[in-house]
Amino acid sequence: MDIVPLRPDFGVEIRGVTLARIAADDALYNAVRAAFEEHSVLVFRGQDTDNDVQLAFTRRFGEPEIVPVGTSGMGGHFITLTNFGKDGKVVAPDHRYALRNKANQLWHTDSSFKTTPALASILSARVVPEHGGGTEFVSTRLAFESFPAALQQRLENSFAWHNYAHSKGKIAKDLASPAERDAFPPVCWRMVWRNPVNGRKALYLASHACGVEGMAEQAGLAFIDELTDLSTKQGTSYEHAWKPGDVVMWDNRATMHRGRPWPGTEPRLMVRTTVSASAADGLETMRPPKQQAAE
Ligand code: OGA
Ligand code: MN
């Protein structure tokens, strides 16, 4: 197995192994897990990934998320990001699927709106468009480490509210369905996630963030926008240009990502699995003190 940097500061390509072998081999898994903790984004090329292999690989890292029926998944462990309609044809630009793809093009981290947020996401390319449609990543760990000490300290004592309907509402008012609103009421997290393996801290933020505890709504939103801009400065990202068979895995505690646009007439089909965060991943440190007391 070889580890090849994608950028000098974060992200690596893992060569010479398949997901199936990693899933079946403790030593390989341990090496990949260490790379995940250290480099935040892992790229695997030329994988022959079907849903079974992807899920077996996902399970090595923790509990796979279950996607509630009626949301963008179809129940079960897989989220399908696609612009294919039920008839197998590419959908119109105002179709729900197309609008959801647009919501994915806002900087975010996955599942921050859930009561158990995500440790990792694993995205595999099944059908890729000819032009565009990449996925772009930034390190919110490196962003946090670049902030002045006073801002770091403020963030370490700050909590943000995350709401699924908020990010979807930026694209279309009712893009989050009533069932989704019920499934995902707003949740509150510390704005800094400390990695318990290496002690490094990262800004924890997403397009789902709709307010900052103790701040007036507009001021909180302005602070969130400012932090998003600071974390996504030009020249700080890695953009993955997809080829069929690629799999990218990222650490939702230490990165943000966004999909990039592509011509709406070109088909794209990606399958995502997601690992829920656990106490060992530092989750307990993320809960606001009030919530900890209530539990
Ligand atoms: C995701 C996501 C963006 C893309 O799978 O979580 O945001 O480019 N994907 O498909
Ligand atoms: Mn995402």
Query: pLDDT tens digits for 204-249?
Result: 999 999 999 999 999 999 999 999 999 999 999 999 999 999 999 9
CA–CA distance, 246 with 196 (Å, rounded to integer):
29
Decide: pTM greater than 0.85.
yes
- pLDDT on residue 84: 86
Residue 181's domain is classified under what CATH number?
Answer: 3.60.130.10
CA–CA distance, 155 with 153 (Å, rounded to integer):
5
Say whether pLDDT at 68 is over 80.
no
Confidence of residue 289 (pLDDT cuts 50, 70, 90): confident
- pLDDT on residue 295: 44
> Number of folded domains in the chain?
1
> What value does the CA radius of gyration of the chain take, rounded to a whole number of Å?
18
How many angstroms separate the alpha carbon of residue 253 from the centre of ligand 2? 13
Which of 41, 58, 78, 121 has the most ligand 1 atoms within 8 A of CB, as the residue to mutate? 121
Alpha helices by DSSP H, listed for the chain, are 19-24, 26-39, 51-61, 96-103, 140-146, 149-156, 164-169, 178-183, 217-231, 289-294
CA–CA distance, 250 with 137 (Å, rounded to integer):
9
- pLDDT on residue 67: 85
| Across 13-34, average pLDDT | 98
How many angstroms separate the alpha carbon of residue 259 from the centre of ligand 1? 5
Confidence of residue 291 (pLDDT cuts 50, 70, 90): low
> What atom of ligand 1 comes closest to residue 135's alpha carbon?
8
CA–CA distance, 77 with 75 (Å, rounded to integer):
7
> What atom of ligand 1 comes closest to residue 81's alpha carbon?
10
User: Residue 21: helix, strand or coil by DSSP?
Assistant: helix
Say whether pLDDT at 292 is over 80.
no
Decide: 137 and 41 in contact? Cβ < 8 Å: yes
How many angstroms separate the alpha carbon of residue 174 from the centre of ligand 2? 19
- Spell out which residues line ligand 1, taking CB within 6 angstroms: 81, 104, 110, 121, 123, 135, 257, 259, 270, 272
DSSP 79: E
How many angstroms separate the alpha carbon of residue 293 from the centre of ligand 1? 35
How many angstroms separate the alpha carbon of residue 144 from the centre of ligand 1? 23
CA–CA distance, 261 with 45 (Å, rounded to integer):
22
Q: What distance lies between CA 159 and its chain's CA centroid? A: 19
Q: Which domain holds residue 147?
A: 2-294
The sign of the torsion formed by the CA atoms of 110, 111, 113, 116 equals: negative
Q: What percent of the chain has pLDDT over 70?
A: 96
Q: Can you tell me which residue has the tokens 């923790």?
A: 62
Protein residue closest via CA to atom 10 of ligand 1: 259
> What atom of ligand 1 comes closest to residue 133's alpha carbon?
8
Decide: 12 and 35 in contact? Cβ < 8 Å: yes
- 117 is written with which tokens? 């947020």
